[in-house]
Amino acid sequence: MATNGTAFQTPAADWTVPLWRDGQQIKAASSYDVISPLTDSKLFSAAAANVEECNAAVAAAEKAFPAWSKTKPGVRRDLLLAAADAMVQRKDELWYYCNKETASTEMYFAFDFSDALESLKSCAGLIASAGTLGFVPDMLAEDRSGMVVREPYGVVLSITPWNCPCILGLRGFLAPLAMGNTVVVKASERSPGAMHVLVDIFNKVGFPPGVLNTITHKPSDGPEIISTLVAHPSVRKINFTGSTAVGSIVASLAGKHLKPTLMELGGKAPAIVCEDADLQTAAVQCVVGAFLYSGQICMSTERILVNAKIADKFREVLAQTIEAIFPDKNGFVLIDKAPVARNSKLLQDAVGKGAKPLYGDILDKRELATAMRPVILEGIKEGMDLYHQESFGPTVSLFVVETDEEAIKIANDTDYGLASAVFTENLQRGLRIARQIETGAVHINSMSVHDETSLPHGGAKKSGYGRFNGEEGLKEWVRTKTITWRN
């Protein structure tokens, strides 16, 4: 991938991704193998932290907090802008790790990297904005005055996923750091190299030691590591992005210790295609929204609800669009064998209960065990696992509906509520539908996969709570303190 970044030396197979603690790279007592989904073989190793190393990382963050929390917003802004410049210089390196560790494609990496870069710049510009500072309210009592200030929480635990290593990795610690917190990142065991580059960038541009620390671990050690970090008395808030199943466990642990959380979880995004929609636009946006990065995005389009008046034509255009945009007959590479097996099980269950393939072959097998071709099924109904479960893969359900109201009802018939899309040439109609869909975001005439640094991002229902991006995202990482006095 040609970029303007500086050249770097690819890591040797005997390299071990280190931990970061107190500004230093730390070699852990043990390690684990990092497996590439592209080859289903070892890339290199990564540090496998134990409980003692988790406690040491939190201690380093706690030690760094008093000074960092008092650092002027302008200083923090300049450090973030320096990190943005450094990211550009190390773009090739990030591409290498994103591709090798998570099978990111060039199309997806372009989205992932640019979104991360813009988030850095946007966050830097908003640090000292009015929405994140305090305010002086009018008091009811004549002899009293007061003010409200915003203060950082302290040590933040950030648990990051593998499926968008640049933006989701960065978002794990960007806003907390910007608002004066210190962070311990529990990186995904699948993408430790990409996180290592991000944290290395922040350390090298001048972020103080201990402000940003990392933990990686063996996959089997996840429950113990997470429990240890969440329970640590110095951890004040938890930032989690991942599956709803794991998010529920983390939220339960946090609740036990009375700690606030920000949760960005799974989704089952609907796309409603009205009879007045531009079919080519709708088809392209649905296809990319469904199959970008093999459907392994929490905002991926999983359900397409098309009006019966245009259903036949839309089916035809949809199939043609898949062939045009994703022609590779070798299939999409998923993160490992497990999602291939899960999607295959969902497809076979649905077909066994009466669903029909519109596109693709549910029995298709690829030479690479981590790969599969896209599939679209029709006739998905209540009682089929695919009706409610998130596939998190290249599996899509198409529903034919008679009215907007029927489409809205099916769209909302899910526990999830992260993102959605509506396609219509009538903006008023689109807005009316959008107001009735139970998701954190609705995109009219654009795909469900969307992120804009100036717009709040987050879910409804079991897709999570709290918001990333913009002033709303920064406010998540400070709390108000009320101060009053007699005049």
Just list the catalytic residues.
264
CB atoms within 10 A of CB 37: 25
- Show the tokens assigned to 287: 């296809």
Q: CA angle, 351 as apex, 349 and 354 as ends, to 5°?
A: 110
Q: Decide if 20 contacts 203 (C-beta within 8 A).
A: yes
Q: How remote is the C-alpha of 337 from its chain's centroid?
A: 21
Judged by phi (left if over 0) then psi (alpha if -120 to 50, else beta), residue 331 lies in left
- Hey, which residues does 156 pair with through a beta bridge? 183, 237
Q: Return all residues near 107 (Cβ < 8 A) that are at least 6 apart.
A: 292
Q: Return all residues near 162 (Cβ < 8 A) that are at least 6 apart.
A: 101, 102, 188, 190, 191, 335
Q: How far apart are CA 21 and CA 480, in angstroms?
A: 30
The angle, 0 to 180 degrees and rounded to 10, between the axes of the packed helices 91-102 and 192-204 is 160
Q: How far apart are CA 297 and CA 390, in angstroms?
A: 11
Parallel, antiparallel or unpaired: strands 19-21 and 24-26: antiparallel
Q: Return all residues near 393 (Cβ < 8 A) that are at least 6 apart.
A: 294, 295, 296, 334, 339, 340, 342, 343, 372
Q: How far apart are CA 225 and CA 404, in angstroms?
A: 47
Residue 439 DSSP SS3: coil
